[in-house]
Every structure is written in structure tokens, then in C-alpha cells.
Amino acid sequence: MMLKPSAHTMRTMAMPLGMLVGALFCREMEWLENATQGWLTPLFIGSMLFVTFCKVDARNIRLQMMHLWLILFQAAGCFVVYYALRPVSEVVAQGAMICVLAPIAMGAVVIGGMLGAKVETMVAYSLLCNLAVAIFAPIILSLYGNGTCSVGEILGRVAPMLILPFVLAQLCRHLTPKVGGWVAAHGQISFYIWLMSLIVIIGRTTCFIIDHSEADRRIELLLAVVALVICATQFIVGRIVGRHYGDAAAGGQSLGQKNTVMAVWMAQSFLNPLSSVAPTAYIVWQNLVNSYQLYRFGNSANEKERPK
């Protein structure tokens, strides 16, 4: 079913407006996160994925060569950007590296589905990517950080939000098919849940920037610019690889849309904390890209609906 123009316009504007609301009410968002002891964002993400996974038949999930190329790009890209930027600044190099290293965002499956991607393809990559990052992130962080990261720490942060919703959704599909069918038929709910999580994340991000006003502004600006370049590059490369395998949207979202909450945590915990400005800026860039993509996709859908 194609989006009506009003729905298309609303979704296109929702992400920029959500980011604006999060920035303006950053202290309120920070208070909500603290009041829920940090469970608000995971709850949003888990609920969003549950709705999306209710549309997925686990029997149709298959690993593809596209997934391997995307993983290899991430693994090699970490080292390339780090050593390319290290002569400029160690902090900037670390920030760039973490923007490439970060696994696919939980919300990428939702946005990818809205852009026409095969959801099963993205679910397969989500599982593979998070497992791969959990294995090689501790190695990379031990080489360029303080060396205290472990596989268990990474998996402990991603597995509950990824595996649990998937298992619950599959149980719902098979044990209560009517409920699962209703949830799948109202999959647009996941977008609005994701939008609420975006508002909270942007609020926390804004508070972080305000509370670290003593940082070197030149380095912060450079980190933001580097994040923009890496963001655009990963979306473009992902779409090129995806197009080769017949699913440009899946490739672009898989490589370009990052779990920035995880990236910020890794930067602040295992690298120079200032390097977390890069994944913080990446949050803004990737959602502006998503807004543009939804706008283009919606316009294309509306053009196809118009009578010849």
C-alpha cells in the first residue's frame, strides 16, 4: 500500500522535527532517562523491533554475499580511516574509527522496510553484524583504546534488544497468529515508536554537548565534519553494494545507519571521551539522510500512483 501525500509529508518531516524537539527539551529527556534508570530507550527499541519482526518469517532469513562485503568494508574501513586521520589528530582518528566500527542500528530494519528493502535481508545482517562487531571490536579497542573491552560487554548491550524481540515476535506469530497478524498489519506503529526513541537520544546527545562546553571546539567541529563524510560514504557504498545484489535500500541502511548509542558508549568507555562527538554528530547526519530518503521514496511512490 502506497503512502498518501499527507502521510508521506508527515513522515518526511517527523525526523527533523523529532530532533528539534529532543534538542529543545533535552533536560526533560535526560530526566526521563534517569527516572527510568536508562530503560526508556531500550524499551522503545525493543518494542519497535518486536512490531517489525512480527512481519518476518524466520525461515526466510538467509545470509548473502552482500552481507560479507559489508562486514569486510566495516572491518577494513576502521583501520583505513584511523591511520588516514591519525597524523591530523588521535582523537579525530578514534572518532572516525568508531563511526565505521559501530554495528547496524536497531532502527535500520524499520527505516529499510519503509524504503522497500527486504526486511529478512536486513534482519540477517543485523544478527551477523552485531555478532561480528562483538568479536572484533574488543580487539580493535584494545589496540587503540584502554584495552578493557570484552565480547561479553558488547553482546550484553545488543543481544537483549535484538534477540529477545525477535524470539518474542516469532512466538507471537506461531502461538497467537491473529495477534501476530494484527501487529504485522499495523507495522507503521514501529516508525512512531522509533521516533520517540530518537527524541530521547537527541535529548541525551544535546545534554552531552552542553555539559562538555570546555572541550576544544576546533576538534569538535572537525569530528562533526569527519562524521558527515563517513556517514555519506557509508550510505553511498552500501547502496552500491546492495544494488549489485538487487536491494540498494537494504545495503544502504545496513552500512550507513549505525547504532550510535553503542558507538557513543564504546567511545566514552574505551577511547578518548572527546572522540564520542563523532558518533554524536553521526546521529544527526544519518537521520537527515533518512529523512531525505523517505522524501525521495515517497515522491517516487506517489508518481507511480498518479494516473497516466
Q: What is the pLDDT of residues 154-193, one digit of tens each?
A: 777 777 777 888 889 889 988 898 888 888 888 778 788 8
Give residue 2's pLDDT band: very low, low, confident or very high (50, 70, 90): very low
Task: Round to whole Å and give the CA distance between 307 and 166.
Answer: 40
pLDDT of residue 248: 94
pLDDT of residue 286: 92
Q: Which residues of 62-72 are buried (b: 16+ CB within 10 A; e: fewer)?
A: eebebbebbbe
Give residue 9's pLDDT band: very low, low, confident or very high (50, 70, 90): low
Over residues 102-160, the pLDDT tens digits come to 989 878 888 898 888 998 899 889 888 988 888 888 888 888 877 677 778 777 777 77
Count Cα neighbours of 160 within 13 Å in the Cβ-side half-sphere. Answer: 10
Domain 5-303: assigned CATH number: 1.20.1530.20
The C-alpha cell that represents 105 in the structure block: 542500528
Residue 75 near residue 133, CB atoms below 8 Å: no
Residue type, 13: M
pLDDT of residue 268: 81
Q: Mean pLDDT score of the chain, rounded to an integer?
A: 84
Over residues 200-217, mean pLDDT: 76
The answer to whether residue 90 scores a pLDDT higher than 50 is: yes
pLDDT of residue 302: 58
Over residues 230-255, the pLDDT tens digits come to 999 999 999 999 999 999 999 999 99
Question: Percentage of the chain with pLDDT > 70?
Answer: 92
Who wins on pLDDT, 234 or 296? 234
pLDDT of residue 266: 86
Who wins on pLDDT, 305 or 278? 278
Give residue 278's pLDDT band: very low, low, confident or very high (50, 70, 90): very high
Which of 277, 254, 247 lies closest to 70 in space, CA to CA? 254
Q: How many CB atoms lie within 10 A of CB 194?
A: 26
The answer to whether residue 308 scores a pLDDT higher than 60 is: no
Task: Round to whole Å and give the CA distance between 205 and 15.
Answer: 15
The C-alpha cell that represents 48 in the structure block: 519497535
Over residues 63-80, mean pLDDT: 93
The answer to whether residue 96 scores a pLDDT higher than 90 is: yes
Give residue 215's pLDDT band: very low, low, confident or very high (50, 70, 90): low
Task: Round to whole Å and give the CA distance between 214 and 200.
Answer: 24
The answer to whether residue 3 scores a pLDDT higher than 60 is: no
